[in-house]
Amino acid sequence: MMVHLHGVQGLLDATVLSRLNVVMVMLAGAWYSNATVWTALAFFATLAAGAGAMWATMKAVNPKIRLAHDARGIPMPRFEDHEFVIQHRGASLDTPHVIELSLGNQGRRDIESRMFPNEVPLTFEFDRPVIGLLGRPVVRAGTAVPPPMEIDGGGNVSLAPAHLSKGQIVTYYLLFDGPVGEEPTVTGALLNGSVRKQLALGGHPFDRLQGWRVVPAILAGMALVVPFWAFVLVAVVLPDQWVDSLQDLLWE
């Protein structure tokens, strides 16, 4: 029985190899003199060009809005001297903690106040009440005036509808009394956009990956390569008479 199975397997392998050989012979022939080959190449090239044009037009007319946020704790010094007291506006803090909340416009256009649906602000909810904001927001990039951050008296801070220029990064420093989680719950939305967590990359919270620049090149390459291998695969799995008919059609 084992010998018989090995014989069947060998026959199948020989059949696959023979069909691959037929395909290679077909491709290695005088392809430049065959009108069918040129028609197929023109079709796939037109298809790839059309897809690329549609993608570029869609991006230009309806650009994606992306607002990233990153919250990180800043280590505070520990003092054993109980006579040392940290106060904020006259109130003593037992275990002060500071959260650095950064917002970055990673989209391809400015974020405007009209892009906040129904002028609803973005809210960042922490698991402990916010004592206050330390200093002024720090602008690391961008030209627009940094929008103010409002505190509701609890664990929420809100970003009212405002203008964030393309590539702008604004950092706020929030003061808490006690340990606080670094993953706020975000509520709110942007029209035709997304609000998402962005981890620190390369030591900077918003070092943007440039992978999207190579996406069009990858799609164009796939549009040219995939049809070739699809042709090879179909030629391998088709019945023998179909392969013969295809060969006759190409080289008639």
Q: Extract the residue ranges of the chain whose pLDDT is less than 70.
A: 1-38, 40-41, 55-63, 78-84, 199-252
CA-CA distance, 187 to 191, in Å (whole number)? 14
Q: What's the pLDDT score for residue 230?
A: 61
CA-CA distance, 171 to 100, in Å (whole number)? 7
Q: What's the pLDDT score for residue 215?
A: 54
Q: What's the pLDDT score for residue 5?
A: 43
Full-model pTM: 0.59
Give 168-201 pLDDT, tens digit per residue: 899 999 998 888 887 889 998 888 888 888 765 3
Q: What's the pLDDT score for residue 173?
A: 92
Q: What's the pLDDT score for residue 181?
A: 82
**8 A C-beta contact, residue 161 and residue 110:** no
Q: What's the pLDDT score for residue 83?
A: 66
Q: What's the pLDDT score for residue 125?
A: 92
> What residues does CATH 2.60.40 cover in the chain?
64-209
Tokens standing for residue 220: 């164009």
For the domain made up of 64-209, give the CATH fold: Immunoglobulin-like (2.60.40)
